[in-house]
Structures are given as structure tokens and as C-alpha cells.
Structure 1
């Protein structure tokens, strides 16, 4: 599959597949990100747009950096604190905040059939609508956000960062503002621990399937596969 997608030799394929745990998609991205080859059907318009915003760091010549990202998002007519920025980062497979590698940028926009700022603005409007109306897409973006904003080299998300992004993404998913406020108070004043991936991911399930259910807390199964923080929060709510 790697050879068919890239035209590389079997030896090159083995090298990139081995370094990416035999994940074909990641290996192909790594191959192109490394500059080993140019991807097929590269859009001239997209390349020119990328060149307009890319950084000047000689160590990262094929990446739009923080300053370029800020300018780019503003040119799309989007506020930096708008949740759709996370949806866009997800669609462009951005590895971390303030970075858009060239090949991922081009591949992502090609998949959305947009190669000009006006077309991209329309695509962003569509992403915003999907974020609001498509629960499956929202869940994908929410889960992506953990790795996207987590500090490099760490396995957990600092609590202050988690709270910031919960306020951005989940506040209106809770049954009401009071319950959300109690969650924030609980994690900051009682639990006071960094947030692992399973807690981050399962909070959305807890909000939708327990707090948002007809029976509310009565539907919570303490014997289920919930991280212990949810047992503690349910007990906190029942005080």
C-alpha cells in the first residue's frame, strides 16, 4: 500500500513503515513531511498560499508556524478562540498548536476542495455547522483536541489547559450551566490532578449518556468501566 501510494522502493517503504509502527497512513505522511518526495497532484494555488504564511525558521522550512497561523486564521475571518479552529486543525491533521506542515496543509485542503481564501472561508463555515450539528464529528474533534493541545512529551493534559478547553467545547453540552460549574469546581478544588486521555475522552460520553439522559445520575453505573474520577464526581453531586 505504501509503495502504491508513493511510488517509493520497497526498502524505503520498510524504513518508513517500521518507524511508524506499520501504520500505512502515518508512514505516508511521514514520507512526504520529510521532504523525501513531493505528493502527487500538488495544487499550485495551495502551494502559493502555503508559501505566503509559512515561517522563516530554517529548521522548519515546510511548516506554517505560530505567527503564520495567527495571520492565516485571521484572514479566514475566524477568531482564534472559536472552536472551529480546532475542527480546522483536525481536518488539516495539524500535529500541535501553531503548526501546519506543508503536505498535511495541502492534502487537507484538497480533501475539502478548497484552494483559495474565499473557498476556505466557505469550508470553515461548513465545519462550524458540522461541529454544532453532527455529534459524531464533534466527538472526533473533541478527542483530537487532547493530543493537539497536550504539551509535547507529556502523557497528561495540565488541569488549567483542560479546564480552558472544556469551557470552549463542552460548556453547552452539559444539561445546564450549574452542573458544568460544579464539574469545574470539582476538578479544580477537589480532584486537582492533571487530566489523562481516558478521562478527557470519557467526559463527553458521561455528559451525553449520563447527565444528558432522561434518568440523569440515576443511570450512572458505578460498576461500569468509568475512570474513578466520575465515581467521585457523582458522589460530589449527591452530597
Structure 2
């Protein structure tokens, strides 16, 4: 698995969670099906190769029980999450916390469900705190070095931090997480500072999902390109906020 990209490893983990197959079988069926998880799972069952499902790890259940919410025993709540993240030796404001939430399919901030917690850690072959610490180190490296994995985590963050019942992200929340995730993705501090000044002083609107998702593409493919703003196509499929920002930069 070490030669696979983060996106491919994620596909392997999804396949294993769905079928209980070995990682080798998962990789074989996924390669045959161009890394499409749904097609690969169908192919696996059609082939007659059926592996017994993984048993729930007793060690992981015990770890979950240590941190679970006493009033909602099927979840780890905010207090348990804080204690758990600290026991992993990770600062709460470290971006790897978002990567971990993504891997464990956390539904919202400060919450892990028992089923996804156990399934996620089983897929990463970690059933002790020391093993989990090593897995978190690997996630941190993937976040820094694998653009595809970073993009998955970045896109996941929108729904993860969005207030329940809302379709958009409050601007102050978006700015907070852009500073956490995207500041060092901009080609320089000046561009990042101008983006923050633009959205807070001129645009002043909550952030919809398409703006959130496409900002990363804008930073990488426009600002980070050799020709910079000259590559920006105002007739392209960019949300209007990017037209406004480019005009703002060109003043």
C-alpha cells in the first residue's frame, strides 16, 4: 500500500469497510475497475470472492468507551473529543485534526460516532493509542505532501464546520479555516492578505459551498500558475466572487 496515493489508499479503505476483504484483494479489484469503489465492490461480489466481515475490535471498543459521552453512549462528544485529541498528542488547532475527522467520517465538530470510529481505525490498522499516534503522523504527512488528499480534506471541512441547518458557512468561520488550511497554499502572503481583506471588507457575505471548493482551484491553478492572473478566464465556470476578486487585484 505504500506505493499508492492517498486517494487510492482511501479507496482501498472504503472497499475493505464495505467487503471485509484484504488490502491486497481490495487493491486488485480497484485497479481492475479504475479505482471506482462502487464498481469494484460490485465486481468483487459478482466474482464469488466473499471474505468474512471484520469483527469489531475489542481494543477499539475499549478506547471508544473511555471517551464516550455518558449521555449519548454511541458517540464521543465535545469533551471526550478534546481529551482524545490531546491524548493523541495533537494540538486542537492542528490541521491534521480535520484529516482525522475526515478519515473517521465525523459528522460534525466535536463528535465521533462509535461505528465510524471503530471502522475508521480498523481501516488504518490502529487499535492502540501509540498506533493511532503513528497513523496521525502519516495523515499529517499526507496532508502536507499529497495534493489529492489535501483537496479531499479541504472539501470535507466545509460540511464539517458548517452550522447545522445552514447551507452556507459564516464568513468569520470561513476566514478562520482558510487561515488554518490555505494560508500557505497561496503563492505569497500578500495575495492571501488581499483575499482576506476583500472578503471581509468588500464582499462581506457568507460563503457557499462552490466558493469554498473552488477557492483551492483558484489558488493553485490561477494564482499559483506561472502566468498568474493572466490565466484567469472570466468566461469560465468560476463563481462571480472570483471575477470580483480579480478586478479587485487589478485596481
Question: In the TM superposition, what are the counterparts of 1:73-222 in structure 2 within 5 Å?
Answer: 73-222=85-234
Against the structure 1 CA distance between its residues 69 and 206, is the aligned structure 2 distance closer, same or farther, given a 3 Å change threshold? same
Spell out structure 1 runs of 4+ moving beyond 2 A.
1-40, 57-60
Against the structure 1 CA distance between its residues 91 and 17, is the aligned structure 2 distance closer, same or farther, given a 3 Å change threshold? closer
Against the structure 1 CA distance between its residues 16 and 47, is the aligned structure 2 distance closer, same or farther, given a 3 Å change threshold? farther
Secondary structure of the 1:208 match is helix
TM superposition score normalised by structure 1: 0.83
Q: Is the 8 A contact 2:98 2:157 kept in 1?
A: yes
Secondary structure of the 2:25 match is helix
Q: Offset of 1:69 from its aligned partner?
A: 0.2
Q: Offset of 1:30 from its aligned partner?
A: 24
Q: Offset of 1:148 from its aligned partner?
A: 0.2
Q: Offset of 1:60 from its aligned partner?
A: 2.2
Q: Offset of 1:216 from its aligned partner?
A: 0.1
Q: Is the 8 A contact 2:78 2:111 kept in 1?
A: yes
Q: In 1, distance between residues paired with 2:15 and 2:146?
A: 32
Against the structure 1 CA distance between its residues 229 and 35, is the aligned structure 2 distance closer, same or farther, given a 3 Å change threshold? farther
Against the structure 1 CA distance between its residues 131 and 115, is the aligned structure 2 distance closer, same or farther, given a 3 Å change threshold? same
Q: Could you report, residue by residue, the CA deviation over 1:155-196 in whole angstroms, capped at 9, with x for unpaired residues?
A: 000000000000000000001001100000000000000000
Against the structure 1 CA distance between its residues 154 and 30, is the aligned structure 2 distance closer, same or farther, given a 3 Å change threshold? farther
Against the structure 1 CA distance between its residues 24 and 95, is the aligned structure 2 distance closer, same or farther, given a 3 Å change threshold? farther
Against the structure 1 CA distance between its residues 207 and 18, is the aligned structure 2 distance closer, same or farther, given a 3 Å change threshold? closer
Against the structure 1 CA distance between its residues 117 and 217, is the aligned structure 2 distance closer, same or farther, given a 3 Å change threshold? same
Q: Could you report, residue by residue, the CA deviation over 1:71-128 in whole angstroms, capped at 9, with x for unpaired residues?
A: 0000000000000000000000000000000000000000100000000000000000
Q: Is the 8 A contact 2:88 2:129 kept in 1?
A: yes
Against the structure 1 CA distance between its residues 52 and 59, is the aligned structure 2 distance closer, same or farther, given a 3 Å change threshold? closer
Q: In 2, distance between residues paired with 1:107 and 1:11?
A: 18
TM superposition score normalised by structure 2: 0.79
Q: Is the 8 A contact 1:150 1:157 kept in 2?
A: yes
Q: In 2, distance between residues paired with 1:24 and 1:59?
A: 36
Q: Offset of 1:58 from its aligned partner?
A: 6.1
Q: Is the 8 A contact 1:130 1:138 kept in 2?
A: yes
**What residue ranges of structure 1 are gaps of 5+ in the alignment?**
none
Secondary structure of the 1:206 match is helix
RMSD: 6.9
Q: Offset of 1:61 from its aligned partner?
A: 1.8
Q: In 2, distance between residues paired with 1:34 and 1:188?
A: 55
Q: Is the 8 A contact 1:173 1:208 kept in 2?
A: yes
My pick for the range that moved more, 82-91 or 6-15, is 6-15
Q: Is the 8 A contact 2:20 2:52 kept in 1?
A: no
Against the structure 1 CA distance between its residues 196 and 29, is the aligned structure 2 distance closer, same or farther, given a 3 Å change threshold? farther
Number of equivalences = 236
My pick for the range that moved more, 205-214 or 24-33, is 24-33
Q: Offset of 1:19 from its aligned partner?
A: 31
